[in-house]
Structure 1
Amino acid sequence: MEIKKVFNNNVVLTENDQQQEMVVMGKGLAFQKKAGQPIDLDKVEKKFVLEDQGLSDKLADLLVETPEEYLELAYRILDYAKSQLSYKIDEYLYVALTDHLHFAVSRQKEGIELKNPLVWEIRKYYKEEFRVALKALDIIEEETGVRFPEDEAGLIALHLLNSQLTGENMDAAVQVTKMVNNILNIVKYHFDMNLDENSINYERFLTHLRFFAMRFVRKEKEQESNTDEFLFEQVKKKYEQAYLCSEKIAKYIAKKYKWTISNDEKIYLTLHIHRVTNRQEWNNK
């Protein structure tokens, strides 16, 4: 078994006997190694096959700034999810969930707790995904020592539901696509920039917008929530341009779809917009 690509000192890409790409993890597995060299099988601790041939590049980009411990954590959660859910789990969740977990644990350690305005709906409409996500909270605590509230289980459940987004009818898919495209255009024109569609931050933002649009299509409006006004004002002040952009989006949604979005949703939009535009601005410089 040879190294096809080195992600970092502990994670490499290789191929199995069926010529399928496979991620292999182990402490010091790739230390001072390069592509073409053999893998020390005694150091292999975990491995999983990638059926999507384009996924390895996204995983490589992610692991530049994300500790591989979060990939292992995502692997363990998704392994459990596969044993509990009746549908196929999208392989991209290895990337999306790894990124989400790193961000979530980091902000939790900094004392930043975000409320999930959809947790009531998620618990009600997606019972199996929410049950799996609650187990994921136990796994996260076991591995990191961080205990999340149920709001975080709702966010993890949404990632699992991403595997089912293609199951909607064509009319719903068209409506979702139009709404997402129009919101992205608002962001592009507000900041006068083209967004990097290959970046992790863009993928994260796109996923959030898809769920946002799907809630409208399925008429799953959020329940009334008690917005943390202090957090709202802090986000509004700290990310001024991103917040102004979220207000433009809120006005568009209200005018086009007669849907008033909450301050909780504006917080999430603002954070996503800041991340995708701030990183893009930094890369351009």
Structure 2
Amino acid sequence: MKVHKILNNNVVVTIDEKGKELILTGRGIGFKKREGDLIDSNLIEKKFSLENKDTAFKFTELLSQIPLEILTTSEIIINHAKQFIEGELQDSIYISLTDHIHWAIERHKHGFDIPNGFLWEIKKFYPKEFKIGLYALSVIKERLNVELPEDEAGYITFHIINAQLNGTMPNIVNMTKIMREILNIVKYHFNFEYDENCLSYQRFVTHLKFFAHRILNQQSQPQQDASLYEIIRQKYKKAYLCTKQIDLHLIHQYQHPLSDDESLYLTIHIERLRTELKNS
């Protein structure tokens, strides 16, 4: 392999046999090298091949500006995350998470830690991803000797979720906001406290996560039989009244009236939750 581009002493770009760019990292891999020079294969520590050209370009730009230790730490965290989440992570995680860790550390060194206003919701709504965030803090402390606050575990959680849903950070924040609002409406409508360990609560939160994602991306719920909606509306009247409150709130705040199908699913989840908490 030959050097196609030198980003810094520790990162170079090469072209593979299929004509695709490969990003190679390794201590001193680019030191005193020029374009066209042969690459010492013994120095290669990691190879990155990103399918999206725009993502690959942004990644190479990022790598030219940050220390190799940040990249390798981010990669350890990403590989750990891949073992514990469902589905795949988008390539964008290599950019967003690496960049975030870099600037979080820089801010921390200068005493500018940013409080995470959604930390409570993140812990409750995304417990699996939050554990990854906590793991990330331990890796950063061990490898980079920087002890970031727990708030940063929440921000890292956002990046993991964002890469799963292929959205943007503001969308994830707004998703969490919508989920919190709906949970509060249900809570105060029935005047109960949630048992976060109960299966109905966990199912409801999972449903709300994707429901909020659909609202923000203007996606519709798959159509169901209209007769089923009428049956559910009549059978679960108390839960349906709560769903109507949610409907009014979403219209007022997000200009999103519930479709019959969205109302159906919300009503079923609310009824399950109400019944389980009532009988517990």
Q: TM-score range by the shorter chain?
A: 0.5 to 0.7
Q: Which residue type is aligned with residue 23 of structure 1? A: I
Moved more, 4-13 or 95-104: 4-13
Change (3 A) 1:42 1:222: farther
Alignment of 1:52-201 (within 5 A): 52-166=52-166
Distance, in Å, in 1 between the alignment partners of 2:144 and 2:27 is 18
Give the deviation of 1:57 after TM superposition.
Answer: 1.4
Q: Structure 2 vs 1, CA of residues 21 and 257 (structure 1 numbering), >3 Å: closer, same or farther?
A: farther
Distance in structure 1 (CA, Å) of the matches to 2:31 and 2:23: 16
1:48-91 C-alpha deviation (Å, 9 max, x unpaired): 33222332211232234322321121111111111222221111
Please state whether the residue corresponding to 2:7 is helix, strand or coil: strand
SS of the equivalent of 1:159 reads helix
Alpha-carbon deviation of 1:142? 0.7
1:200-211 equivalences under 5 Å are: 207-211=168-172
Give the aligned partner of residue 212 of structure 1. Answer: 173
SS at match of 1:50: coil
Q: Which amino acid aligns with 2:175?
A: M
What letter is aligned with 2:87?
A: Y
Is the radius of gyration larger for structure 1 or structure 2? 2
- Give the paired residue count: 188
Structure 1 residues 257 and 110, CA, compared in 2 at 3 Å: closer, same or farther? farther
What is the CA–CA distance in structure 2 between the aligned matches of 1:32 and 1:47, rounded to whole Å?
20
Q: Deviations over 1:182-220 (max 9, x none)?
A: xxxxxxxxxxxxxxxxxxxxxxxxx43222332344455
- Identical positions, percent: 37
* 2:187 alignment partner in structure 1: none
Secondary structure, in 3 states, of the residue corresponding to 1:12? strand
Q: Is residue 121–residue 176 contact of structure 2 (8 Å, CA) maintained in 1?
A: no
TM-score w.r.t. length of structure 1: 0.59
- RMSD in angstroms over aligned alpha carbons? 2.6
| Other structure's SS at 1:151 match | helix
TM-score by length of 2: 0.60
Confirm or deny: 8 A CA contact 1:20 1:50 kept in the other structure: no
Distance 1:221 1:119, change over 3 A: farther
8 Å CA contact 1:13–1:56 kept in 2: the answer is no
In 2, Cα distance between the equivalents of 1:21 and 1:218?
A: 41
Q: CA deviation at 1:106?
A: 1.0
Structure 1 residues 220 and 24 mapped into 2: Cα distance closer, same or farther (>3 Å)? farther
* Structure 1: runs of 5 or more not aligned: 168-206, 224-255, 260-285
- The verdict on how the C-alpha distance between 1:166 and 1:146 changes in structure 2, with shifts beyond 3 A counting, is closer
SS of residue in 1 equivalent to 2:117: coil
Residues 87-141 of structure 1: per-residue CA shift (max 9 Å, x gap): 2111111111111011101111112222111111111111111111111111000
